Amino acid sequence: MEVTQLKNEEEFRETIGKFPITIVDFYSTECPPCEKLAPVYSRLAEEYPDVRFTKIFRQENRPLAASLEVSGSPTLLFFCHGKVQDKRLTGEIDERELRATIDGLIAKEDETYRKVERMESNEERDLVIIGSGPAGLTAAVYAARYGIDQVLIGQLPGGLMTSSHKICNYPSETEIAGMELTQKMADHVTALEVPQLFETVTSIKKDGERFVVSMTGGKTIGAKAVLLATGTKHKHLGLPDEGRLTGKGVSYCATCDAMFYRGKVVAVAGGSDAANTASLYLAEIAEKVYQIYRGTELRGETAWIEQIKKNPKIEVLFESSITKLLGENRLEGVQLDKPFAGSEVLKLDGLFVEIGSDPDMTLIAQMGLRTDEKGYVETAPDQTTSIPGAWAAGDITTNSDNFRQIITACSEGAIAAQSVFKYLQKTK
């Protein structure tokens, strides 16, 4: 496969989000190391057809390079499913190190993201599980043990769990990273030989007593039952320029982007567990962390709150909200609704938004499932929904007393699988 030349940021973002593994070479002219790397890079592109090799001219894309903290040429950045990896190579790049890095990414793809077999269109299954977060993965485990003919469809195993820097309340794990816990759950599913598809579901339609699940690329699967476990997505601030500055100082994942802010000044918007853990993680890397919260006291687990109070690098701004994002090519600060240290402007290098999440409404609305006023799917104790044959589990539901945790998502996934098993037994 040939090396793809990217012209601008738009092509860059489209490409890294489209392919499982993408390497981007930020090169310059009159750069001997760049010229030395070029033939090696082209040769490796032929040797690794499953990896997308790209290059982009750094001097014509300075804002993009700056947002990614690329300050030298050549610099190779590695992306898995749109997420930049910690590893980067720059300067006099050694071919052996580059090969080792690529091999590591492929291994990660095989083990974590699960390159899965492609199914033929118009298959029939007893159960289709949509979503591979904790609820979907647990449901798949239980469905496998019940002997249900199933398929698990999801874009990224673990969902939002993968962005958790540290999890300390999951039984059997005193402390574990979100990605590591995801790996363990995904390994369990794989060990049970559950069929999986790395696809996006575009529609779920009722066809008599069955459902027809359609995916990108035109594939369809018929099912007697469907389980929706699509989880939630990060809330945004809703401010002008938020989209423009995303990836240029504005982030929604401390685990993903914290390393770009070593020795810098950052802020976290929010006051619950997600924001609290983000602040603590960023404090390990950044010079200063401001936590901006509209409430009068932090919410969530007492253990995290006590750690924040004791951390000299974290300062909480209570009863404060961000009213404006400042900066042209990248974030330079925020404007607050009340003065702090004599000014409404707080200068920052980065802002991490952790103000909660909303249910992913795409399929919920399309199916016409009954929801509460916030859009969460109303479910019975057995996880059944308002549509016969359709179940929901995890963070998108009204169950578990609205206590949206990894362990409650797992619980709902297990209950849903058992309920589906009973349903299928009756329909035989």
- 380-392 per-position pLDDT tens digit: 999 999 999 999 9
Strands of the sheet containing 343-347, edge to edge, are 322-326, 333-340, 343-347
Q: What is the mean pLDDT of residues 307-326?
A: 96
Task: List the one residue out of 329, 250, 259 whose CA is nearest residue 64.
Answer: 329
pLDDT exceeds 70 at position 277: yes
Same domain flag for 289 and 342:
yes
Q: Tell me whether residue 307 is exposed, middle or buried, using C-beta atoms within 10 angstroms of its C-beta: 0 to 12, 13 to 18, 19 or more.
A: middle
Mean pLDDT of the chain: 89
Q: What per-residue confidence (pLDDT) applies to 77?
A: 95
Which segments of 260-330 are extended strands (E)?
265-269, 288-292, 314-317, 322-326
Give the rounded percent of residues in the chain with a pLDDT score beyond 90: 56
What tokens were used for 424?
């299928």
Q: Tell me whether residue 147 is exposed, middle or buried, using C-beta atoms within 10 angstroms of its C-beta: 0 to 12, 13 to 18, 19 or more.
A: exposed
- For residue 288, give the 3-state DSSP assignment: strand
Distance CA 403, CA 395 (A): 9
Same domain flag for 219 and 287:
no
The radius of gyration computed from the CA coordinates of the chain, to the nearest angstrom, equals 23
Stronger pLDDT, 112 or 297, i.e. the higher one: 297
- Domain at 199, CATH number: 3.50.50.60
Q: What per-residue confidence (pLDDT) applies to 119?
A: 40
- For residue 375, give the 3-state DSSP assignment: coil
Q: What is the mean pLDDT of residues 288-292?
A: 97
Q: What per-residue confidence (pLDDT) applies to 112?
A: 53
DSSP state of 118: P
pLDDT exceeds 80 at position 164: no
In the block, tokens 């962005």 appear at 163
Residues whose CB falls within 8 Å of the CB of residue 424, separated by 6 or more in sequence, listed in order: 126, 127, 148, 224, 225
Distance CA 286, CA 70 (A): 18
Same domain flag for 349 and 362:
no
pLDDT exceeds 70 at position 311: yes
Which pLDDT band holds residue 160 (cuts at 50, 70, 90)? confident
Stronger pLDDT, 168 or 172, i.e. the higher one: 172
Residue 258 lies in a domain: yes
Distance CA 278, CA 289 (A): 10
Residue 67 lies in a domain: yes
Domain membership of residue 203 as a residue range? 123-232+358-427
Distance CA 206, CA 306 (A): 50
Q: What is the mean pLDDT of residues 350-370?
A: 90
Query: Angle of helix 302-310 relative to helix 273-283, nearest 10 degrees?
Result: 40
- Domain at 70, CATH number: 3.40.30.10
pLDDT exceeds 90 at position 255: no
Q: Do the bridges between strand 75-80 and strand 21-27 make them parallel or antiparallel, or are there none, so unpaired?
A: antiparallel
Same domain flag for 13 and 62:
yes
Residue 322 lies in a domain: yes
What tokens were used for 200?
């996006």
Distance CA 278, CA 291 (A): 10
Among the ranges given (4-8, 41-45, 287-291, 311-315), the one the predictor scored with the smallest mean pLDDT: 41-45
- 94-148 per-position pLDDT tens digit: 888 898 899 888 887 765 544 444 444 468 999 999 999 999 999 999 999 999 9
Q: What is the mean pLDDT of residues 226-252?
A: 88
What tokens were used for 92?
């006099």
Residue 237 lies in a domain: no
Same domain flag for 192 and 250:
no
Same domain flag for 226 and 272:
no
Stronger pLDDT, 102 or 166, i.e. the higher one: 102
Residue 128 lies in a domain: yes
